[in-house]
Amino acid sequence: MTVSIIIIGVAFIVFINIMMVKNAFDNHLIKQVLTFSNFPSDNEQVNIFFISDIHRRLISKKLLDQIDQPIDVVIIGGDLAEKGVSLKRVKKNLVELKKIAPVYFVYGNNDEEIGARNLDALLLELGIIVLNNCAITLQLKNGTLNLAGIDDISKQRDRLDKALEGICGFTILVSHHPNVISQLGKKSEVDLVLSGHTHGGQIRLGPIGFYKKGSLDYYGHTAVLVSNGYGTTGIPMRIGAKSETHQLTIMKAN
């Protein structure tokens, strides 16, 4: 009886570990339609592919093949890499993302571990636009869209005031760390925030985790998407917070 219990216990532990590894290397693409009353065009939509916290992973063709809309903008929400990741691997990921659409990037807390100058040079070489406490304007057929980004909050190099200075109209803000929410008032000029960093807690026991599971929430009129992220840090395992990326279709509310 005791031997049977041990065997069952060992089998259960092995099963859980297999599932945790599977969750860590899942290629889950969440497809969401987000509508806003002040979106600048009545008859147009913007399709965004949002990916954060790639860390050590290679972006899989199985993931990219799930995209079923022409993408206008690819946004990397920080932690493209971490210590021990080669520039060759980072470049391979960026080249794949560039095949989809123009790529925009904000720094996360781990990116500089591979050498800030080396990463900056690679981003410049590939034409990746870094949103470093600044904003750009994307021209739509019937209006404009602001895309702003801040440097990583945990490094205390974020300047939200600078990133949003002088902008008006529909605005998407990219911040690796979701704590940017605390800097935004309920009457913020930002319409959508895209963040990662937390990995959704990565290892969760039911509802219990170090961080809240990735979600889409509203603070005043501002929609805030915090992603579980694509990769992992530390052990390549997840439970209760599967790897995820996002295909976002943004359009005007009826």
Q: What is the pLDDT of residues 13-23, one digit of tens each?
A: 555 667 666 77
Is pLDDT at 114 greater than 70 in this prediction? yes
Residue 1: the pLDDT is: 62
Residue 43: the pLDDT is: 79
Q: Which of 90-94, 174-178, 201-205 has the lowest mean pLDDT?
A: 201-205
Residue 13: the pLDDT is: 56
Q: Helix (H, G, I), strand (E, B), or coil: what is residue 183?
A: helix
H-helix segments, the chain: 2-24, 61-64, 87-98, 116-126, 160-163
Residue 46: the pLDDT is: 95
DSSP structure string for 23-82:
HHT---EEEEEEEETT-S-TT-EEEEEEE---TTPPPPHHHHTT--S--SEEEE-S-S--
Residue 226: the pLDDT is: 98
Question: What does pTM read for this prediction?
Answer: 0.92
The torsion region of residue 76 among left (phi > 0), alpha (psi -120 to 50) and beta comes to beta
Residue 2: the pLDDT is: 80
**pLDDT greater at residue 236 or residue 68:** 68
| Superfamily of structural domain 2-252 | Metallo-dependent phosphatases (3.60.21.10)
Give the residue from 105, 106, 114, 104 showing the smallest Cα distance to 81. 114
Residue 169: the pLDDT is: 92
Q: Helix (H, G, I), strand (E, B), or coil: what is residue 48?
A: strand
Interior angle at CA 126, CA 63 and CA 167, nearest 5 = 90
- Are the C-beta atoms of residues 187 and 164 closer than 8 Å to each other? no
Is pLDDT at 103 greater than 80 in this prediction? yes
* Angstrom distance (rounded) from CA 247 to CA 235: 27
pLDDT (tens digit per residue) in 23-53? 788 899 999 999 999 999 877 899 999 999 9
Is pLDDT at 129 greater than 60 in this prediction? yes
Give the residue from 103, 64, 90 showing the smallest Cα distance to 247. 64
pLDDT band at residue 235 under the 50/70/90 scheme:
confident
pLDDT (tens digit per residue) in 201-216? 888 777 777 888 999 9
Place of tokens 């063709």: 61
